[in-house]
Amino acid sequence: MDKFLIEGPCKIKGKVKISGAKNSALVLLAATLLFEKPVTLKNLPRVRDINTMLNLLKSLGSKITLSKDRKTARIQNKKKLKTFASYSLVKTMRASILVLGPLISKFHKSTTSYPGGCNIGLRPVNYHLSALKKLGMKYQIKKGYIHAKSNGRLLGTTIKFSKISVGATENTIIAACLARGKTIIKNCAIEPEIKDLTNFLNCAGAKITWKGRTCLITGVNSLNETDYSVMADRIETGTFCVAATIAQGDLEIQNLNPKNIKTELNILKKAGAKIRVFENKIFIKGPKVIKPIKNIKTKEWPGIATDMQSQLMVLMCKANGESSITENIFENRFLHASELQRLGAKIKIINNKATIQGNTKLIGAELMSSDLRASVALVLAAMVSRGKSTINRVYHLDRGYENIEKKLRKIGVKIKRLK
Ligand code: UD1
């Protein structure tokens, strides 16, 4: 299993280009199952989760042609696709559940593996299932699979989520696109990736409008040939912004939409970063002294992204005083804390709140990755620790960060991949 060797502390300077958003690309790829006409998706990130989704689509019968740089995919579906999403593919990536909505909507049946839990929490799919049921899907869970069918086209209705869920909102929107009549979905997640999804579908002829957290969909019979470019990855953007802030860096971050990272940039400004924002790039300089921040709380968009929580915790370890972070989205998302403690971090966790004593002199150590965002936090921490750190199981990082070691090496981080 690959490892990273990082020698700190590093000074970082230079330019970095942000890749396409993994979490948007995954859902757009799943939505291509609705199409009979060809779809071209550009700006796909070259990360393992995208390969998994492409393999899942291929296993269903989609014909996929990738450009030489693997950033553009042309997807052409046969009139009839298979409707079986196997455990072997779904178990490696929970986002595979996103094929359920389009399969049931387009082909009126699906057998999709029930996704398991994961390191950061239980992550059930009850909201996905109950919303699809309201649209007309009938299902049974047998031997680890969701056996689902519908009597022909789904039927538009009103759905209200009792809790905001990104994935359930996406699955329901995709399914409702081809449903008969009008669907009103209330209390939706409105993350930028979801707006990217509805922009994409509307480009293909879907009829979707928004009013706050309510999504209104008028079903159409079919979708048109479409060519679409995936939005930039806001979490990769935020990660590089934290890298610059924590390491007295001086970075120009390109190919992004600063509006999608506004809340997190405000936190970094509070911590002392100097930030200049342009239409599609950011200049960011890290301060000599990082200010502590009390009461950082993760929340659904437009709040602070839970996917930025671990990176902000590393930042607070280097702040000049006590900070606190409350995780409100996932029940077990502080796995990185015990690894950071191995570097010398002083973090106390009570329930979903972490209190961090700053001013820590971090010292390199051997570390273990546990999930995607926890792993990137360890990379950031190793960058500002004295001496050598080894990060094991970097396959977690490869799931969602394109060429991370190349991008970091280019801006001055001493990082090596050991095979
Ligand atoms: C997506 C993102 C993930 C991000 C998360 C929150 C992708 C591929 N992943 O995950 O990176 O951290 O949004 O912004 O886009 N829940 C239920 N029942 C359900 C669905 C969700 O109880 O049916 C709970 C979850 O356990 C969690 C909370 O709702 O506690 C939010 O989860 P959700 O927004 O659905 O996250 P994902 O779509 O899985």
pLDDT for residue 91? 87
Ligand 1: atom nearest CA of 306 is 12
Ligand 1: atom nearest CA of 123 is 26
Residue nearest atom 21 in ligand 1 by C-alpha distance: 165
Residue 315 Cα to ligand 1 midpoint, Å, equals 24
Ligand 1: atom nearest CA of 122 is 26
- What radius of gyration, in Å, describes the C-alpha atoms of the chain? 21
Q: Is the CB of residue 167 below 6 angstroms from any atom belonging to ligand 1?
A: yes
Residue 116 Cα to ligand 1 midpoint, Å, equals 13
Q: Is the CB of residue 303 below 6 angstroms from any atom belonging to ligand 1?
A: no
Whole-number Å distance between alpha carbons of 198 and 196: 6
Annotation says 215 is catalytic: no
Q: Is the CB of residue 23 below 6 angstroms from any atom belonging to ligand 1?
A: yes
Q: Is the CB of residue 233 below 6 angstroms from any atom belonging to ligand 1?
A: no
As averages over each run of 10 residues, the pLDDT of the chain (419 residues) reads: 95 97 98 98 97 97 97 95 94 93 98 83 90 98 96 98 98 98 98 98 98 98 98 98 98 98 98 98 98 97 98 98 97 93 97 96 95 95 98 94 96 96
Of 232, 133, 132, 233, the residue nearest 175 (C-alpha): 132
pLDDT for residue 117? 63
Residue 389 Cα to ligand 1 midpoint, Å, equals 31
Residue nearest atom 20 in ligand 1 by C-alpha distance: 125
Residue 165 Cα to ligand 1 midpoint, Å, equals 5
- Domain regions of the chain by residue span: 3-19+232-418, 22-229
Taking CA atoms, 326 is separated from 208, 293, 295, 312, in Å, by 34, 12, 7, 11
Q: Of the residues 48, 92, 96, 123, which should be mutated to test ligand 1's pocket, given the most ligand atoms within 8 Å of the CB?
A: 123
Of the candidates 118, 177, 203, 317, the residue annotated as catalytic is 118
Domains 3-19+232-418 and 22-229 share a fold: yes
Whole-number Å distance between alpha carbons of 159 and 191: 18
Q: Is the CB of residue 308 below 6 angstroms from any atom belonging to ligand 1?
A: no
Region 22-229: CATH code: 3.65.10.10
Residue 370 Cα to ligand 1 midpoint, Å, equals 18
pLDDT for residue 383? 98
Q: Is the dihedral of CA 211, 22, 268, 293 positive or negative?
A: positive
Residue 98 Cα to ligand 1 midpoint, Å, equals 12
CATH 3.65.10.10 correct for 3-19+232-418: yes
Taking CA atoms, 182 is separated from 55, 56, 156, 158, 217, in Å, by 33, 30, 5, 8, 6
Q: Is the CB of residue 329 below 6 angstroms from any atom belonging to ligand 1?
A: yes
Whole-number Å distance between alpha carbons of 328 and 346: 21
Determine if the pTM surpasses 0.95: yes
**What are the tokens at 48?**
């393992």
- Burial class of residue 296 in the structure, from the number of CB atoms within 10 Å of its CB (0-12 exposed, 13-18 middle, 19+ buried): buried
pLDDT for residue 229? 98
Residue nearest atom 39 in ligand 1 by C-alpha distance: 167
